[in-house]
C-alpha cells in the first residue's frame, strides 16, 4: 500500500500543498483532478522523489521513499514517473530509447519486450525512427513505453495523453489502462480530461488550492458531486435554484444538474429561450436563458432553434439525490 502524507509544502514562503493524506492499495488506479495550479503535479513530484518534503512522508508498504536529499538519482527503483516533459534522447531511434531502460541482466528478452511495448503504444512502424523526427504526441507515447520498460510497482502519470491526437488517444488509453490493471500495477493519474478518469480510475481525489476537498469512488463522485467545482471538472454543469425547477419548494438552495439530466418539453417545465445550439455528434448541447436571466446548458437529440422557447424538467430522483450532499458556493 502507498501511504502519502504531506502536512505542508511550499516555495519561497508560499504554501503549495497542505494537509494531504491518503492511501492507495496495491493495484488500485487513483485519479487526481483539479484545475491548473491546484497542486497535482507538485504532489506527484513529491511522491516520486523529485521534491523534498520536510513535513510529511511517503511509504510503499514498510519502505520509506527518501526523496532527493538522500538519493543521488531522483526516484525509487519500484516507482516510475511520466512527466509532461518527456526527457527522451533525440538522436537515437524509438526502440533504442526504450531499450536504454531495460535491465542489463535480461538482454536475451530485450527484443521481445521492446516489440511488446511498441505494440502497446501503437508505434511498431516507427521502431527505427529517430526521436527527433517524431511529433509531440509520438514522443509522449515513446516516453510512456520507457517508463513501462521495467515494469514498475507504482506508475505516476502526469497528463499522460495531453499531446496525443484524439483518434489515437482513445485506443491508447484503453490499451494502457487495461494493461496496467492486468499487471496489477498501482497507478496515480493526474489529468484534466474526464475521459482519462471516468472509465478507468476506480477512485478520484479532487484537489483545490493545494488541498484535497473530495476523495471518493469515481462513479459516486460524478453522480453526487459535493460542489460545483468538483462537478465542473467532469464537464459542463448547471447550478439551478430549486425554486426555478419546483415553484412550490420551501427550501432556498440550488442543485447541480448536468446537461443530459434535463428533459426537454414543448409544453411544461422551466421556460428557457434558446440562445445557441451546438452540434456534438451524438446530440446537441444547447445554451438557454430563463426569464430570470439564469443561463442553463441542456442536451437534446435535435437542434434547437435560436430565439424559440422550450421547457426543461429534472426528475425528482435527481433533485433529491443532489440535495443529500452539500452544494458549494456559486461559481
Handedness of CA 172, 164, 38, 330 (dihedral sign): negative
Please check whether residue 331 lies inside any domain of the structure: no
**Contact assessment for residue 38 and residue 211, using Cβ atoms and an 8 Å cutoff:** no
Phi, psi at residue 16, to the nearest 5°?
-100, -40
Check whether residue 118 and residue 187 sit in a common domain.
Answer: yes
> What does pLDDT average to in each consecutive run of 10 residues of the chain (331 residues)?
94 90 97 94 94 91 84 82 84 90 70 92 93 91 91 94 87 94 96 94 96 96 95 95 81 91 92 96 96 95 95 92 64 39
Whether 150 maps to a domain, the answer reads yes
Task: Tell me if 300 sits within 8 A of 283, measured CB to CB.
Answer: yes
Whether 16 is in a domain gets the answer yes
CA dist 58 and 48 (Å) reads 9
* Final residue before a domain boundary, out of 204, 228, 252: 228
* Residue 329 confidence (pLDDT): 40
70 within some domain: yes
**Which residue is it, cell 484535497?**
212
136 and 68: one domain? yes
Reference 203, options 12, 6, 23, 9; nearest CA is 23
Q: Which of 186, 210, 228 is the last residue of a domain?
A: 228
pLDDT of residue 225: 95
Distances (CA, A) of 125 to 128, 132, 136, 144, 148: 8, 16, 17, 17, 19
- Residue 328 within a domain: no
If asked whether residues 213 and 239 sit together in one domain, one would say no
| 98 grid coordinates | 526504450
Each residue's pLDDT tens digit, 100-153: 888 654 666 788 989 999 999 999 999 999 999 999 899 999 999 999 988 899
One domain, residues 42 and 180: yes
Does residue 251 sit within a domain?
yes
Range of the structural domain that residue 137 is part of: 2-228
For residue range 1-14, list pLDDT tens digits in order. 999 999 999 988 88
| Domains in the chain, number | 2
Predicted confidence at residue 103, as pLDDT, reads: 64
CATH number for 179:
3.40.50.300
Those residues with Cβ within 8 angstroms of residue 169's Cβ, 6 or more apart along the chain or in another chain? 161, 195
pLDDT at residue 70 in the model: 78
pTM: 0.89
Residues 185 and 236 in one domain: no
Query: Does 45 share its domain with 174?
Result: yes
**How many residues are given for the chain?**
331
Pair 240, 258 in one domain: yes
- Continuous H helices in the chain: 40-48, 94-99, 110-120, 136-148, 166-183, 194-197, 218-223, 228-232, 242-245, 316-323
**Residue where a domain stops, chosen among 207, 228, 249:** 228
pLDDT of residue 73: 75
End-to-end CA distance of the chain, in Å?
Answer: 36
CA distance 130 to 114: 15
Position 6 in a domain: yes
Give the domain CATH number at 284: 2.40.50.140
- Domain check: are 135 and 32 in the same one? yes
Angle at 6 between CA 153 and CA 35, to 5 degrees: 85
Residues 9 and 156 in one domain: yes
Over the range 172-206, which residues count as b (16 or more CB within 10 Å of their CB) and which as e? bbeebbeebeeeebbbbbbbebbebbbebbebbbb
Q: Check: CB of residue 180 under 8 Å from CB of residue 29.
A: yes
**Domain match, 94 and 201 both:** yes
* Residues 115 and 8 both lie in one domain: yes
pLDDT at position 100 is: 84
Q: Are residues 86 and 151 in the same domain?
A: yes
Report CA Rg, the chain.
Answer: 23
> Residue 330 domain-assigned?
no
Amino acid at each position: 500500500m502507498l501511504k502519502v502524507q504531506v502536512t505542508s509544502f511550499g516555495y519561497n514562503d508560499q504554501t503549495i500543498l497542505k494537509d494531504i493524506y491518503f492511501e492507495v492499495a496495491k493495484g488500485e488506479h487513483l485519479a487526481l483532478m483539479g484545475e491548473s495550479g491546484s497542486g497535482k503535479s507538485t504532489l506527484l513530484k513529491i511522491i516520486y522523489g523529485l521534491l523534498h518534503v520536510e513535513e510529511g512522508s511517503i511509504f510503499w508498504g514498510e519502505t520509506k521513499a527518501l526523496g532527493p536529499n538522500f538519493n543521488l538519482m531522483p526516484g525509487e527503483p519500484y516507482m516510475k514517473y511520466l512527466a509532461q516533459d518527456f526527457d527522451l534522447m533525440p538522436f537515437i531511434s524509438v526502440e533504442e530509447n526504450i531499450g536504454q531502460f531495460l535491465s542489463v541482466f535480461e538482454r536475451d528478452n530485450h527484443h521481445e519486450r521492446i516489440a511488446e511495448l511498441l505494440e502497446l503504444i501503437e508505434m511498431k512502424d516507427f521502431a527505427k525512427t529517430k526521436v527527433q523526427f517524431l511529433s509531440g504526441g509520438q514522443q509522449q507515447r515513446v516516453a510512456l513505453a520507457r517508463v513501462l520498460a521495467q515494469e514498475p510497482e507504482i506508475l505516476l502519470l502526469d497528463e499522460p495523453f495531453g499531446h496525443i491526437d484524439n483518434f489515437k488517444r482513445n485506443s491508447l488509453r484503453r490499451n494502457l489502462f487495461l494493461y496496467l490493471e492486468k499487471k496489477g500495477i498501482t497507478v496515480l493519474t493526474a489529468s484534466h480530461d474526464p475521459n482519462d478518469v471516468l472509465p478507468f480510475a476506480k477512485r478520484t481525489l479532487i484537489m483545490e488550492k493545494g488541498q484535497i476537498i473530495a476523495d471518493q469512488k469515481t462513479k459516486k463522485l460524478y453522480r453526487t458531486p459535493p460542489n460545483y467545482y468538483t462537478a465542473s471538472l467532469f464537464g459542463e454543469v448547471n447550478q439551478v435554484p430549486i425554486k426555478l425547477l419546483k415553484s412550490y419548494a420551501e427550501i432556498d438552495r440550488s442543485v447541480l444538474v448536468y446537461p443530459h439530466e434535463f428533459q426537454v418539453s414543448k409544453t411544461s417545465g422551466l421556460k428557457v429561450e434558446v440562445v445557441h445550439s451546438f452540434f456534438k455528434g451524438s446530440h446537441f448541447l444547447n445554451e438557454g436563458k430563463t426569464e430570470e436571466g439564469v443561463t442553463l446548458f441542456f442536451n437534446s437529440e435535435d437542434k434547437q432553434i435560436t430565439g424559440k422557447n422550450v421547457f426543461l424538467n429534472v426528475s425528482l430522483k435527481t433533485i433529491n439525490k443532489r440535495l443529500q450532499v452539500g452544494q458549494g458556493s456559486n461559481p
